[in-house]
Amino acid sequence: MAKQENQDDQEYKARATALRLLARREHSRLELNLKLRQRKVPGDVIEAVLDEYESEGWLDNNRFADVYARQRMDLGYGPLRILGELQQRGVHRSPVCLDDMAEEDWCQKAIDLREKRFGLADLSEDWDEKLRQARFLNRRGFSASQVERALEARSQ
């Protein structure tokens, strides 16, 4: 009897915790799994709860990826960084909002970010500054061609 009560208590704890976390923001399945494990919930209980929440539509990796990617794009991050961060969170497919962006759109985002952060001065003679700005854009997750286009941009 005591073992059944403990099992029910663990399941209740897992359901309540997962629902509370999902109410705050979208989570990937991996993120929720890790957060429930940190709270010492048994693995079989976690899997059962997460399976149920996925079937109810409360937990959806695709929805999480789309929301996450849009937030990171708004913060000025490039496609490489966003995809890498999604993979760290257990999502191994590119969200629709990233697939819809053309190369030209990413180049424009890199140019806008450079203009906001550094301005669009001519860097043809200042190699140190050009390298510094290139490293910044690379860290933000823009590809080499996107960085190159951003560094070539001049103010009108």
Same domain assignment for residues 1 and 55: yes
What percent of the chain is predicted at pLDDT more than 70? 94
CA–CA distances in Å: residue 138 to residues 108, 111, 147 = 15, 13, 7
Cβ-based neighbours of 48, under 8 Å, separated by 6 or more = 11
pTM recorded for the entire structure = 0.86
* Interval 25-47: pLDDT, tens: 999 999 999 999 999 999 999 99
Q: 85 and 134: one domain? A: no
pLDDT per residue over 64-80, tens digit each?
A: 999 999 999 999 999 99
Count of domains for the chain:
3
Dihedral over Cα of 81, 82, 83, 86: its sign: positive
| Residue of 150, 155, 145, 112 lying closest to 133 (CA atoms) | 150
Tell me what the mean pLDDT of segment 16-31 comes to: 95
Are 17 and 55 contained in the same domain?
A: yes
Domain membership of residue 66 as a residue range:
60-98
